[in-house]
Amino acid sequence: MNKTRVLYPGSFDPITNGHMDIIERSSKIFGEVNVAVVKNINKNSTFTLQERVEMIEKACKHLDNVKIQYFEGLTVDFAKSIGCSTIIRGLRAVSDFESEMQMSLANKKLDNNIETIFLVADEKYAFLSSSIVREMASYGADISEFVPEVIIDEIKAKYSNK
């Protein structure tokens, strides 16, 4: 196996089966996958940072070479601090392409050693996003096909309190 350590950053609000697919595929290709939850001051999240981290930990228990962390600030700075020069992102549709390309070029401008590798979403999950899961859960719809089984109750609980 390739020994490269990679960083998979995102909001993961909450983690979905689409994210899981990217994590599992990356963990087969690379030596170590660092999934990192971004503490984004400009974006209101439904789940707290700690809840998001814990849900990913539960969902990734079976993956030996996957580490879960969180960070605040620039992705390139965090990548450097943990010794990663490769960022993984998932690409769903043309709509993702523009913003992902912009972010990848901006990161390269900030640090020329950083490369972004894109994995194309599995067609099963090409429509799936955290916001769709949140919307479904808020109306009490069945989310069992869209998120890891071990976090379903926690997502439901969040909306039953609201």
Interface residues with ligand ADP (CB under 6 A) are: 10-12, 16, 18-19, 22, 89-90, 92, 96, 121, 125, 128-130
Cβ 116 to ligand ADP, closest distance in Å?
9
Cβ 2 to ligand ADP, closest distance in Å?
20
DSSP letter string over 91-151?
Answer: E-SHHHHHHHHHHHHHHHHH-TT-EEEEEEPPGGGTT--HHHHHHHHHTT---TTTS-GGG
Active site residue 109: no
- How far is residue 68 from each of residues 9, 41, 48, 49, 141, measured CA to CA in Å? 10, 20, 15, 12, 29
Active-site choice (11, 26, 27, 130): 130
Active site residue 92: yes
Kindly tell me which of 141 and 160 has the beta carbon lying closer to ligand ADP.
Answer: 141
> What residues are labeled active site?
19, 43, 92, 130
